[in-house]
Amino acid sequence: MKSVKLEWVLGNIEAAQELCTEALKHYEDFPKLWMMRGQIEEQCENMDKAREAYNQGLKKCPHSGGLWLLLSRLEERVGQLTRARAILEKARLKNPQGPDLWLESVRLEFRAGLKNIANTLMAKALQECPNSGILWAEAVFLEARPQRKTKSVDALKKCEHDPHVLLAVAKLFWSERKITKAREWFLRTVKIEPDLGDAWALFYKFELQHGTEEQQEEVRKRCENAEPRHGELWCAESKHVLNWQKKTGEILAEVASKIKNTF
């Protein structure tokens, strides 16, 4: 797998594809190989081949949430909303306790402007996964502004120590311009889970807007020391093939620059 990744990041697409094909002859039940195969094809704008790779992968690895997400996003990207929705429904049937799949289903409807359906799905999601921090964190910001505080209290009752929920509370105070409170909750979040890159990026963005140069530098240094490896926004940058040589501080700045605080 590392050989495939190396050829891919170096831009040797044909070599990466050949290695991937060879690897899949021996490890056909390894979902990350199917994911890479599909992503390489997507990068080359070969949507049919990418779709085929994801579908083949799912026959071998039906419980790989990552493969279901990639296939659904491909269909959404080419304008096939109905197909994307059906893929996620099928994925949830095979993985009913998968919060990532529920979250994507909610977001798919929200992106399509169907907020009522998104809210209905979120209610179902929280019934299936009542202790999922990522779902509760999202649920807070699905609410209208006056109801968000109440929802955040519910989230904290269910997931008191979940970093995604703590981060949602920090964002909530930020959106209300309660700067000191927001900073307290950001600090709490990175203390409880220093490996969550999204928390560092949001904290850094917050300090760029509301903090001193010293406070900004403090967040940057602490993030570099923590070397986070997880987080949806973080991994979208850190695992991107074009960013393979970037250091933690560069990834931090990159992720922060892409955050639009419209919450």
- Report the pLDDT value the prediction gives residue 128, as an integer from 0 to 100: 95
User: Above pLDDT 90, what percent of the chain?
Assistant: 90
Q: Are 208 and 256 in contact (CB under 8 A)?
A: yes
By residue count, the chain amounts to 263
Residue type, 167: L
Pair of tokens at residue 201: 């990026």
Residues 6+ apart with CB under 8 A from 42: 50, 74
pLDDT digits (tens, 9 = 90+) for 51-87: 999 999 999 999 999 999 999 999 999 999 999 999 9
Query: pTM of this prediction?
Result: 0.92
pLDDT digits (tens, 9 = 90+) for 162-192: 999 999 999 999 999 999 999 999 999 999 9
Dihedral (CA of 65, 49, 238, 245) sign? positive
Whole-number Å distance between alpha carbons of 90 and 184: 41
Whole-number Å distance between alpha carbons of 138 and 136: 5
- Report the pLDDT value the prediction gives residue 12, as an integer from 0 to 100: 86
Domains and CATH numbers, the chain: 143-263 (1.25.40.10)
Residue with tokens 């021996």: 26
Residue 3 binned pLDDT confidence (cut-offs 50, 70, 90): confident
